[in-house]
Structure 1
Amino acid sequence: MTVTQTQSQAQTAARSAAAVAHLRPAFHIRPPRGYLNDPNGPIEVGDDVHLYFQSRPTLDLQMPVEWGHATSPDYVRWTLHRPAMAPQPGGPDTDGCWSGNTVLDDNRVRAFYSGNVEGRPYQSVLTAVSDDGGMTFGPARQVVPDPEQALMFRDPFVWRENDTWWLAVGAGFADRGASIALYRSADLEHWTYEGPLAELPRGIAAGEDTGAAWECPQVLTLDGRRIAVVASWSPERGPAEVLSFDVDVRVTPQRVDHGTNFYAASALRDSRFGPLLFGWLTEGRDRLGWTDDWAGVISLPRVVHLGPDGSLRSTPVPTVDTLRAGPGSPADGVSTGPQCEIAVPEGPGQVILHFGDQERLVVELDTDTVTIDRTHASLDNHAHGGRMQVIEAFDPTSGGPAARIFLDGSVLEIFTSSGRVLSTRVYPTTPPPWRIEATANAQYWRLAS
């Protein structure tokens, strides 16, 4: 290859990156390049929150994942660091440091996660300790034995309750269905199997596939009730939806996010704002459409609570308001860039983002529903389209707007006054400025990067 050819390829890559620069999220967590998926182990250490995530430095999905790392003083302004954990050659995670969580143990941060070794039937449950405040973790060791027979066994979640440490692991069994295996310990070193925390034969509940197995189990205590958050998974279909349910009452599992691109939720049981969830916002486009050098992003952190029906409801972390650049203004007719918030105080109403003459995104607020229509949002054949909808979307007693719409490049998250949330991705080929057509009382803010 000649120098001229190399320069030409570099110029072509630069032009391609510039053409899609408006799609890059700015205030959602993502690495500068490479691939990101599951969020892991959010934890508050002193005044800072640490968040880890599965990542690869390139888009090569055969490369073993490591634990990327970001910190923030306020949950909205993040600093990326070097990976906190990487696979150890010849070790129990030699082919990838997979999902898990972190806890504070005598002022040390301890991680529990799944170690992947190609050729083994399961990802072993490992632990590793950080002695520098969560910046890096030492060597790993296995803490519970692999199962003898299971469809899947991975993604530990550890928490402390009533002076006892508990460990939940996602699993699935051919004869029992999706399962959460439960262990207990007095010292985080020696674990005793307690049986399944919850199990459910595969079926359809509230219109959702409950899964042959559950990934990424998280356990929250809300209003004195133990709430499990799981990612529904099956060998033939792979990931489906994130579901929540009361493990004691065994209410019907219900969706946590009603959009198209939320998966692998990661919980922080106790934060300065209360229980929180993060999620992986999947791409919403075919792999052939990954024309830039990054893929994957983390959702806004969500404060969670229970709705009247026992379902998990969400509001954006309060500090997201500090991203607003200046006072609000009427949204209708505004020319906007790729980072903004639009609030609709009450329904019915409509917000249309006109990206170009042939590209638009429509958000409809009806009597009790919110609908996102991506049918004409992108001329890119690789971008996913279609409609998504959530019912029972509004609570006039909440004190908040009927809907808060957050746009960050290709990320769209909508929070409703009843605590419903819809997350999706949009890929307009037309760069900003874009025009907003909105209900007369809608408000607009530009959001700082």
Structure 2
Amino acid sequence: MTQTQSAPRSADAVAHLRPAFHVRPPRGYLNDPNGPIEVGDDVHLYFQSRPVLDMHVPVEWGHATSSDYVRWTLHRPAMAPRPGGPDTDGCWSGNTVLDNGRVRAFYSGNVEGRPYQSVLTAVSDDGGTSFGPPHQVVPDPSDPAIMFRDPFVWWENGTWWMVVGAGYVDRGASIPSYRSTDLENWTYAGPLAELARGVLDGHDTGAAWECPQMLTIDGRRIAVVASWSPEGGPAEVLSFDVDAPVVPRRVDHGTNFYAASALRDSRFGPLLFGWLTEGRDPAGWTDWAGVISLPRVVWLGPDSSLRSAPVPTVDTLRVGQGAPADGASTGAQCEIVVPEGSGQVVIHFSEQERVVIELDADTLTIDRSQASRDDHAHGGRMQVTEAFDPASDRPAARIILDGSILEVFTSAGRVLSTRIYPTTPPTWQIQAPPTARYWPLAR
């Protein structure tokens, strides 16, 4: 049995940590979201997953659909590695587009021993439920790269475009780009953006960029990338304008958001999904790990950073008309809204366990240092400044709790995502400012 399969506590003992309305398979390992796409009235979301917690099992594309972006139905995997094929050791990250009414996927095919993952395409003839055999459409890079993977394809100005995540020892992180008229034959068009590795606001900008996504917002081309290095692995999700000097900004100011996946056009405008990584050591996992964030509407702030809010349909999860949050008792799924001002929201899990969300001047802080007595759970604080915009029509803070998931959205569009693991099951108690409101959440 591998380390990730050992578990000191039973699944039943931590059932309150399981999310109710965030996408997650019933068991196994989930990581990057892939290829969200609207097909008719439904949105299809794919994601990297393994049916067990053994990291040696090749990754497949899990599949979920929804008519409202908050109530999801899980399906059989839409794509699985083909023995002896170009993805025999894993169907890795990519995206999907509509090609004459068919859903076409572009993704990275992993074959152990090859220096790079192959850029593959595969077509679905059943509306996105399953995909046919893949084939390679972009050759491996001719220049030695640290990394080359995770294609993203979109239509712009009468042409299909593709970017791939990459990094080079002498040039730093890079987004090579390609163009095509038919989605099969691709011509290299040069790097869309590059940046020598550095530190910005205390965060590593990356030796390479994984999972590049392209959005068009207010007529500007905005890249969203995941910074990565060979020695440190995943770091931060960053965004920047590719047609201006590259100044990356963090997309999420919490501790557990990575590998964002974009839907360029939706009924709500451009959206982002992300992988909410585990905030506990593998030895503390039970029978599952990893979950997908709430889908987020995104826009540009005054500093050109990407701002976020939950999709509007999250409101339909609320049960009842709302009640004062201070003194309320709650289960593992709830929303707490602080309309304005400063103060603390504390969710007391027990006398020994609590999480504190503090609003102070222009700063929002989450302190999870006492959120869990589980030795495997991570603690610490996270903070974002310029968090509030009193002129907006958004509340100062929306605090959304779903089992072990905590996502906090501010009125200025800042978001902090983290994971918490209280050992005490509900009922839990809320302490909050007098104006704060509370709703239970349910599907």
Give the shorter-chain TM-score range. over 0.9
Alignment equivalent of 2:365, drawn from 355, 358, 371: 371
Task: Please tell me whether the aligned partners of residues 364 and 370 of structure 1 are also in contact (alpha carbons under 8 angstroms).
Answer: yes
Segments of structure 2 that go 5 or more residues without pairing to the other structure are: 1-5
Determine the structure 2 residue equivalent to 1:208: 203
Q: Distance in 2 between matches of 1:400 and 1:97?
A: 39
TM-score (norm 1): 0.96
Instruction: Answer yes or no: is 1:248 the counterpart of 2:243.
Output: yes
Instruction: Indicate the residue corresponding to 2:355 in structure 1.
Output: 361
Equivalent pair of 1:206/1:252 in contact (CA under 8 Å): no
1:229 to 2:234 alignment? no
The amino acid across from 2:411 in the alignment is S
Question: Which residue identity lines up with residue 138 of structure 2 in the other structure?
Answer: V
Aligned equivalents of 1:253, 1:275: Cα separation in 2: 19
Is the 8 Å Cα contact of residues 231 and 264 (structure 1) preserved in structure 2?
yes
Q: 2:111 aligns with which of 96, 110, 117?
A: 117
| Deviation readout 1:121-171 (Å, 9 max, x if unpaired) | 100000000000000000000000001310000000000001100000000
| 1:287 partner amino acid | P
User: How many residues align structurally?
Assistant: 437
In structure 2, the partner of 1:307 is: 301
AA aligned opposite 2:48: Q
Counterpart CA distance in 2 for 1:83 and 1:249 is 40
Q: Does 1:174 align with 2:169?
A: yes
Counterpart for residue 64 of structure 1: 58
Give the whole-Å Cα distance in 2 for the aligned partners of 1:183 and 1:16.
49
The reply on whether 1:50 has 2:39 as its aligned counterpart is no
Instruction: For 1:186, give the aligned amino acid.
Output: T
Q: What amino acid maps onto 2:270 in structure 1?
A: P
2:427 counterpart of 1:417: no
Following superposition, the deviation at residue 414 of structure 1 comes to 0.2
Partner AA of 2:112 in structure 1: E
| Native 8 Å contact 1:182 1:193 kept in 2 | yes
Distance in 2 (CA, whole Å) between partners of 1:151 and 1:404 is 40
Residue 394 of structure 1 corresponds to which residue in structure 2? 388
Give the structure 1 partner of residue 179 of structure 2.
Answer: 184
The equivalent position to 1:442 in structure 2, one of 436, 439, 443, is 436
Structure 2 match to 1:273:
268
Q: Which secondary structure does the structure 2 equivalent of 1:70 belong to?
A: strand
Residues 330, 443 of structure 1: 8 Å contact kept: yes
Unaligned stretches of 5+ in structure 1? Answer: 1-11
AA in 1 matched with 2:431 = E
Q: Which runs of 4+ in 1 moved over 2 A?
A: 12-15
**Offset of residue 14 of structure 1:** 12
Q: Are the structure 2 counterparts of residues 13 and 413 from structure 1 closer, same or farther at C-alpha, using a change threshold of 3 Å?
A: closer
Match of 1:23 among 12, 17, 26: 17
Contact kept? 2:225, 2:260, Cα under 8 Å: yes
Q: Secondary structure at the match of 2:349?
A: strand
Letter of the 1:410 partner, please give it.
S
Match of 1:194 among 175, 189, 193: 189
- Say if 2:105 is the partner of 1:108: no
Provide the TM-score with structure 2 as the length reference: 0.98
Contact 2:7 2:284 in 1 (8 A): no
Q: Specify whether residues 223 and 352 from structure 1 end up closer, same or farther in structure 2 by C-alpha distance, changes over 3 A only.
A: same
CA contact (8 A) 1:150 1:174 kept: yes
Q: Give the secondary-structure state (helix, strand or coil) at the position aligned to 1:143.
A: strand
Query: Contact 1:343–1:401 (CA<8 Å) still a contact in 2?
Result: yes
In 2, the alpha carbon distance for the partners of 1:207 and 1:164 equals: 38
Residue aligning to 2:3: none
Tell me the distance in 1 between the aligned counterparts of 2:183 and 2:141: 20
Shift of 1:316: 0.4
1:333-352 matched pairs, under 5 angstroms:
333-352=327-346
SS in 2 for 1:356: coil
Residue 347 of structure 1, CA deviation? 1.9
What is the one-letter code of the residue matched to 1:440? P
CA contact (8 A) 1:228 1:246 kept: yes
Secondary structure of 2:314 counterpart: helix
Aligned Cα root-mean-square deviation (Å): 1.2
CA distance in structure 1 between the partners assigned to 2:206 and 2:353 by the alignment = 36
> Which amino acid is the alignment partner of residue 100 of structure 2?
D
- Which residue does the alignment assign to 1:36? 30
Report what 1:157 is aligned to.
152
Q: CA deviation at 1:13?
A: 9.0
Partner of residue 287, structure 1: 282
1:314-357 CA deviation, whole Å, 9 max, x = no partner?
01000000000111100011110000000000121110000001
- After TM superposition, give the deviation of residue 206 of structure 1 in Å: 2.8
Q: What corresponds to 1:220 in structure 2?
A: 215
